Amino acid sequence: MNYLSTRGATASVDIDVALASGLAPDGGLYVPARLPRLDPGDFADCANLAAVAARVLRPFFAGSRLLADLDAICAEAYAFPAPLRPLAAGTQVLELFHGPTAAFKDYAARFLAASLARLRDTETPPTTVLVATSGDTGAAVAAAFHRRPGFRVVVLYPDGRVAPRQAHQLGSFGDNVHTLRVAGTFDDCQVLVKRALGDASLRQASVLTSANSISLGRWLPQMAYYAASALEHARRHGGTLNYVVPTGNLGNALACVLARLVGLPIGDIVLATNANRVLPDYFASGRYRPQPSIATLANAMDVGNPSNFERLRWLFADQPAPPAWLRADAVEDADIAATIGRTWREHALAACPHTATALCVLARLRAAGDTREWAVVATAHPAKFDSIVEPLVGAPVPAPAPLAAMLARPAQAEPMANDYDALRALLLALGG
Ligand SMILES: *Cc1c(COP(=O)(O)O)cnc(C)c1O
């Protein structure tokens, strides 16, 4: 399988090159040159999530050095379940928060780490994985590379702008993980990382890579839990399953779209955003107008210019507009808070603020008379956002065991000015 850039100005590459390089040389995002076709029957003998993952990814890895290891990589990455839990008639919750950092990003971060570890030339100096995070990505990437020989991770997060438990988690790793709390915004952190990645003299001194959501190695593996849940639903109840996906940078949701396009039994897909409504506005008007991001209760989705938008355009480039089965709806903070309270009262379920955007969007569909089968995607465990969720439900939300273990460890993050020279000096001091 060959991969092209969304901007079309780069020669096609194989997946191993695309995985290791993140962004295409022309600044675009890598996309598969053609979409494979799978049939639900192809998955008949897949006994668990890891097996479904390997089956759905296999055609995308045709010709890869990783193909022979794909089963082992998926067994490593998908070592914890992604259960579909019934919530109400016709409604299930797809729980993606059973990994080490209690958010869905664990699956793909672990897949990327397992892949890069196998692609790494052991003769070269350690690879530095640079990540800017608004909260969840940094922890998932740090956990996936923690104590992995040949890698170190440098995480930059905006000081004071992540949830307290997110901050603790980010600083709890130590060893080969260096956590920097930057006096600036998430956008500032991203600018610093981009500058380092584009700094030719720095790159001469060290092997640098990134692990943000535009990486192909994070996009593709997210198909696995959509494939597994849709197949499970089809086996039990017949027919297709519709999804509401909390959306920020459009990585996770476009994996659901991709799973549908390659032939999995998925029906409608609705993107739930917070008050950052660039996607709902695009679907309504056909015009894409990036905005500065605004801070909301669902902070991992505070995105005004979704980094995967080019992939959305590319997927439907031959059509005048995205298909009718794909839509978007925005949820203001007041509705996020009301939904968390209502879901607790009606179903005794504590939802994280991101998951609540999807629950709210589904409640609107139900109110308009939709009686079809829907899965609401739960992107993080509510205990990660206890300072928001507990006051709204009026009860303690216990942390799951892996999160509790991380919170019990001491945490340390180095303060850093919003200053590129400071980052550069630190990277050089780490030994290139
Ligand atoms: C990252 C994140 C999202 C948004 O996912 P995208 O792939 O950026 O659309 C939603 N919820 C949580 C909890 C997240 O960490």
Domain membership of residue 144 (yes or no) is: no
> Which of 105, 274, 355 best tests ligand 1's pocket when mutated (most atoms within 8 Å of CB)?
105
Q: Is 136 in the pocket of ligand 1 (CB under 6 A)?
A: yes
Query: What one-character-per-residue DSSP string does 236-250 give?
Result: HH-S-EEEEEE-SSS
Q: Is 246 in the pocket of ligand 1 (CB under 6 A)?
A: yes
Lowest-confidence range among 16-25, 134-143, 260-269? 16-25
Domain membership of residue 163 (yes or no) is: no
Which atom from ligand 1 is nearest to the alpha carbon of 303?
8
For the chain, percent of residues with pLDDT exceeding 90:
82
Which atom from ligand 1 is nearest to the alpha carbon of 247?
9
pLDDT tens digit sequence for 163-199? 888 999 999 999 999 999 999 988 889 889 988 988 8
Lowest-confidence range among 74-78, 126-130, 255-259, 351-355? 126-130
Q: Cα(118) to centroid of ligand 1, in Å? A: 27
CATH number for the domain that contains residue 347: 3.40.50.1100
pLDDT tens digit sequence for 350-404? 999 999 999 999 999 999 999 999 999 999 999 999 999 999 999 999 999 999 9
Which atom from ligand 1 is nearest to the alpha carbon of 380?
13
Domain membership of residue 335 (yes or no) is: yes
Domain membership of residue 42 (yes or no) is: no
Q: Is 213 in the pocket of ligand 1 (CB under 6 A)?
A: yes
What value does the mean pLDDT take over residues 62-86? 97
Whole-number pLDDT of residue 148: 95
Per the structure, the count of domains in the chain is 1
Residue 13 has pLDDT above 60, yes or no: yes
Q: Cα(36) to centroid of ligand 1, in Å? A: 26
Q: Is 380 in the pocket of ligand 1 (CB under 6 A)?
A: yes
Q: Which of 375, 338, 367, 140 is nearest to 253 (CA)?
A: 375
* Residue 239 amino acid letter: G
Beta strands in 126-227 (DSSP E): 127-132, 151-158, 177-182, 207-210
Q: Cα(98) to centroid of ligand 1, in Å? A: 15
State the pLDDT confidence band at 135, using cuts at 50, 70 and 90.
confident
pLDDT tens digit sequence for 303-351? 899 989 999 999 999 998 999 999 999 999 999 999 999 999 999 999 9
Domain membership of residue 168 (yes or no) is: no
Q: Which residues sit opposite 130 in a β-bridge?
A: 154, 210
Residue 48 has pLDDT above 70, yes or no: yes
For residue 81, give Cα distances in angstroms to 50, 95, 412.
9, 8, 30
Cβ(212)–Cβ(22) under 8 Å? yes
Describe the strand order of the beta sheet including 30-32 as a list of residue ranges: 13-14, 2-5, 30-32
Encoded tokens for 268: 């409608």
Residue 211 has pLDDT above 90, yes or no: no
Residue 22 has pLDDT above 80, yes or no: no
Residue 432 has pLDDT above 80, yes or no: no
Cβ(115)–Cβ(220) under 8 Å? no
Domain holding 309, by residue range, is: 81-103+220-399
Q: How far apart are CA 240 and CA 257, in angstroms?
A: 14
Q: Which of 306, 99, 292 is nearest to 213 (CA)?
A: 306
> Which of 94, 354, 361 best tests ligand 1's pocket when mutated (most atoms within 8 Å of CB)?
354
Domain membership of residue 315 (yes or no) is: yes
Q: Is 308 in the pocket of ligand 1 (CB under 6 A)?
A: no
Q: How far apart are CA 125 and CA 415, in angstroms?
A: 26
Across the chain, what does the average pLDDT equal?
94
Domain membership of residue 237 (yes or no) is: yes
pTM of the model: 0.95
Buried b (16+ CB within 10 A) or exposed e, 75-96: bbbbbbebbbeebeeebbbbbb
Lowest-confidence range among 52-56, 163-167, 286-290? 163-167
Whole-number pLDDT of residue 185: 85
Q: Is 260 in the pocket of ligand 1 (CB under 6 A)?
A: no
For the chain, percent of residues with pLDDT exceeding 70:
100
Q: How far apart are CA 231 and CA 99, in angstroms?
A: 22
Which atom from ligand 1 is nearest to the alpha carbon of 97?
13
Which residue's CA is minimally distant from atom 2 of ligand 1?
300
